[in-house]
Amino acid sequence: MKMIKKIRYACMLGLLPMLLACQTQVPQAGALAKPALILVGDSTMAPGSGYGNALCARFNVEVSCLNLAKGGRSSGSYRAEGSWQQVMQQLRLVPDPANTLVLMQFGHNDQPGKPGRSTDLHTEFPRNLQAYIRDVRSTGADIILVTPLTRRSFKDGSLPNDLRPWAESAIAVAQEASVALIDLNQQSHAMVEKMGQAQADTLAMAPPPEQPVPYPALASQTATEPQGKPKSAFDRTHLGPKGADLFAGLVLQNLLRLRPQLQPQLRPQPVQGDQP
C-alpha cells in the first residue's frame, strides 16, 4: 500500500513519465521490473541538442529510458537548481533499484567563464561527481560516468581538446570510487579528428554559415552557453539528428561492453539499404 501511494503521488506531480508509466499497481511478487536508464548531463546529452534521446530510442519498451539532461548545466548548477532532487525522487520510487542505471556526463559548463556554473577543476568538479556517486549508490541503483563529448572546431588542421582535463578528472574519480566509465571524450575526439572539419560540420544542428567562422568563435571554453538552448542554429558543440545518432551509437557500444545484459533490450536496427 505504501508503494501504491508513492507511485500515485508521483504520477500526480508528473515525476514519473516514461520511467514507470504511472503504474497504479505494485508488481506481483517475483515479477521482473523493467530495467530503467536515466540520463543526467548538459546540452550535448539533452533532448533537442544532444545524443540522449537517440540513445533512448535504441531500446525497446522493456527498458524505461528517461533523459533528464539539461542545456547549460554544470556538475554544480544541476544540483543547485533542484534538478538532481528530481532524479533522486525517481530513483527512490523505481520498483527495482538494482536494475536501474544512471548515465552522467558533465564538463562543458564546468569550464571557466560561465558565471554561476563554472566549477574548480581540481576541487569542486571531482567533489561534485563523488557526491552524485554516493547519492545514487544510497538508493541501490548503479551509475556510469561519461566524459564530456568533444567539441568540433579544428585549428590549423588539427582538433584541440580543451575538455580533456575534465575528462581526466572524471576518470580519476571513477577509478577511486570503483565506478564504470565511458571515455566518450577520447573516443569522440578521435572520431571527429579523423573526419576533418567539413565532415564534422554535418553533425551540427544546421548547415554552417556561408562566411566561415574562425576558431574559437564556435567552440570556446570561455563562451557562455545559454541555459536550455544552444546559442545559435549552427555551432560545433551541439548535435543535429546525424550527430545525435552517431554519438548515441558510440555510447551504446560502450554501454553494452560494460552492461551486456542490456543487449536483449535493444530495438532491431535497419540494415544498410533498408527503407526507413
Q: How many CA atoms lie within 13 A of 97 on its CB side?
A: 16
In the three-class reduction of DSSP (H, G, I as helix; E, B as strand; rest coil), residue 28 is classed as coil
pTM above 0.85, yes or no: no
Q: pLDDT tens across 117-156, in order?
A: 999 999 999 999 999 999 999 999 999 999 999 999 999 9
Cell numbers found for residue 129: 561527481
R_g of the chain computed on alpha carbons: 19
Q: Do residues 239 and 31 touch, judged by C-beta distance below 8 A?
A: no
- Distances from the Cα of 118 to the Cα of 4, 76, 224, 230, 239, angstroms: 41, 8, 10, 17, 22
CATH numbers and ranges of domains, the chain: 34-262 (3.40.50.1110)
d(CA 125, CA 174): 13
Low-confidence ranges of the chain (pLDDT < 50): 1-33, 218, 220-224, 230, 275-276
Per the omega criterion (within 30 degrees of 0), is the bond before 216 cis? Answer: yes
Q: Chain centroid to CA 169: how far?
A: 17
